[in-house]
Structure 1
């Protein structure tokens, strides 16, 4: 979904073709390599978006001794679907890193709706974590597993604290208009 949001958001700015996007992603930082985005994946998502009617070809650039380049534009349906895809991304994201492409494209969504989604995510995560922490109290610990239990407890507690902190920070940054 992130790749499709990326493509649609780029097409909101200008018509383009897959190879150009791939090249833009690789310079100056190789974001394509860091994200595992191959040229074939990019072409696959362009094709998928076209089949959904969210983008359409508008031009074919022909160059001698080079493959033809099919230039795409976003459709009215694509403009309508982009915010929905971004909201869905926020709803399904498990970590802040899953939200990066959505955060980079907040200008295409209603900030209050985004804050509502993230607020619910924070509330649900916090409630789930508190419920898990309450299970720990009545459980009798096996003497042979004390170190493992302590290690895992520390790991999951730290991870939960980290998730809560960054969800709160993301909400704060959006509220303050910093992102």
Structure 2
């Protein structure tokens, strides 16, 4: 997701310092569905400022800390926000996942290590699922439906992912993950494919 869209969207809610934007991203658990490289936030603010999409409205001085530059979205920034919003909304999604490349070569890896790694993926997915369910419970009465729908989709995705990793773990544990399964049709029915 475009870091510029996130910044402009959060500035639509009100003027903020880049650190406040980072705080909101953390509070809303956006890291689970928005990819932001560390340091990209400040660079994006700089670029948005040069392009006239944000402007400095205040600089707060504190003797114990560095100055905080407060930004506001401009009229041009609002137009850019709308443009980025629809670009992102209508962007074709690809199903690339790092795990797919690994699963293509399960025959060539130590099967016990594979089974343990899949168990770790199950635990990681369960932990993230619990966090997202807690976030949904916290936000369900205060967040707009658009925001809630993101959390809902992440939860649905994580539930499917958890079932898939459990299936892979069982196959690895039974020594079947690297073999041709004569009963693959039954697997498709099990997953309602």
Q: TM-score, normalised to structure 1's length?
A: 0.49
**Which structure's residues are more often helix, by fraction?**
1
Q: TM-score, normalised to structure 2's length?
A: 0.46
